[in-house]
Amino acid sequence: MQRRELSLQLASVAALATFGLRPGSAAAQGQLVEGKDYATLKKPVQLPHTGKIEVVEFFWYGCPHCYAFEPALEPWVAQLPPDVHFKRVAYGFDEALREVHQQVYYTWEALDLVGTMHPRTFDRFHKQHKPINTEADMLEFAGESGLDVAKVKAAWSGFSVQTKLRQAREFCDSYGVDFVPQLGVQGRFLTAPSMAGDGPKALAATDSLIARVRKGG
């Protein structure tokens, strides 16, 4: 979601996830067009040498585009090959609420609850229309979800979460992220549903970029 598009209607965005990947499309054949299907970073992001290809999703809980992308993204992540490492980096555009929305994700991560609470958090924002804009909202949500509220509160303000908030800001700046959702590949490339055409095409483009990195291209 670009800054100027924050007021887009969810109904028009949700259609992105329903478009199939056209047989014979450039993304399906791996014939990507730079500047259209993907972008190459002018300055590569320095990543740890892990022996794996890193794919990162930049997202924001308040973004309807990100919410529409989830149904395509989740099964794709589940089938990634062993030499690919996937991670999420929380972002946000509302200056007053950016850190709170990021803090929600990193709290779930600290508690090893991303698998269950990440989709529920998106639903709370977009189905229930109850965004988590304060610590009180977060603790209310934790209680409603049957979680130990005291543990959630401790993680929310804990050192681990505060460290990850700082790292997320630095990582987003390194990639030059200014809209979401986007997918970064090995600190070198960016693609997105809005670039490739829709969610499945962005994932096909990511597959092609992964293959390119794997071959040393």
The end-to-end CA distance of the chain, in Å, is 30
Element (H, E) at 73: helix 64-78
Domains in the chain: how many in total? 1
13, part of any domain: no
Q: Is 3 inside a domain boundary? A: no
d(CA 47, CA 90): 18
Q: CA quadruple 122, 127, 130, 131: dihedral positive or negative?
A: positive
**CATH no. for residue 182?**
3.40.30.10
What is the span of the domain harbouring residue 109?
34-39+53-214
In tens, the pLDDT along 6-47 reads 433 333 333 333 333 333 344 444 589 999 999 999 999 999
**45 within domain boundaries:** no
| Pairwise CA distance, residues 60 & 69, whole Å | 11
The 10s digit of each residue's pLDDT in 50-104 is 999 999 999 999 999 999 999 999 999 999 999 999 999 999 777 779 899 999 9
DSSP-assigned beta bridge partners for residue 40: 189
Domain membership of residue 19 (yes or no) is: no
Structural domain includes residue 8? no
